[in-house]
Structure formats: C-alpha cells, structure tokens
Amino acid sequence: MSTDRTKTPAKVSVDMEKCLRVSKKILDMLKKKTKSSAEAYFAVRLVGLFLEERLGFKMTPDQEEELRKLWRKQGEMPSKGL
C-alpha cells in the first residue's frame, strides 16, 4: 500500500497526559545517556523525524500547544539545560 507523503497529515487522537508521563521518562534517560542538551535535543528530533517518515503523521500545532500547556500547568517545563 502506497502512502502519499505530500498530503497534510490527519490529526491523530492521543492521550496527552500519557504522552507527558512518557516524555518525562525519556528526559530522565537522556540526562543519563547524553553529554549535552544539544545531543539530547538532536536525539529526540531524530526519533521524531524517523517516526514522522515511518508512520506518516506528525504533531499538529494545536497538539504541540496543548502539550506545552500541560508542562506549564504541572510546573515542570524542562530547564534550558538537561
């Protein structure tokens, strides 16, 4: 089955609270496995790009903003350095 990657991705329904919990675990792991916040950032971006290409969808601006609000609401927005 062929997918047309030029189409705008459809919004995928996800449990944002669960995504937030999982992301915190990933951040903890990155703190242990990387030497700098730049390495951590690039690792996360590479995984995101891989999933976008492999699965054919990506986060919408609305979903991104919702996740940012959840971080702020919980008072746990990551600091600038990992």
Note every long-range contact of 76-79, with CB atoms under 8 Å and residues 24 or more positions apart, other chains counting: 76/24, 78/27
**DSSP symbol at 46:** H
Residue 52 in domain: yes
Is pTM beyond 0.75? Reply is no
Backbone angles phi and psi of 7, in degrees to 5: -70, 150
pLDDT in tens, 16-73: 889 888 988 998 999 999 999 899 999 999 998 998 899 888 888 888 898 888 888 8
Between 75 and 78, where is the model more confident? 75
Task: Decide if 80 is inside a domain.
Answer: no
Q: Which pLDDT does position 32 carry in this prediction? A: 93
CA 35 to chain centre: 20
Give, rounded to a whole angstrom, the gap between the first and last alpha carbons of the chain: 41
Largest CA distance in the chain: 44
Residue 82 lies inside a defined structural domain of this protein: no
pLDDT for 8: 57
- Number of structural domains found in the chain: 1
Domain range spanning residue 58? 16-73
Give domain status of residue 11, yes or no.
no
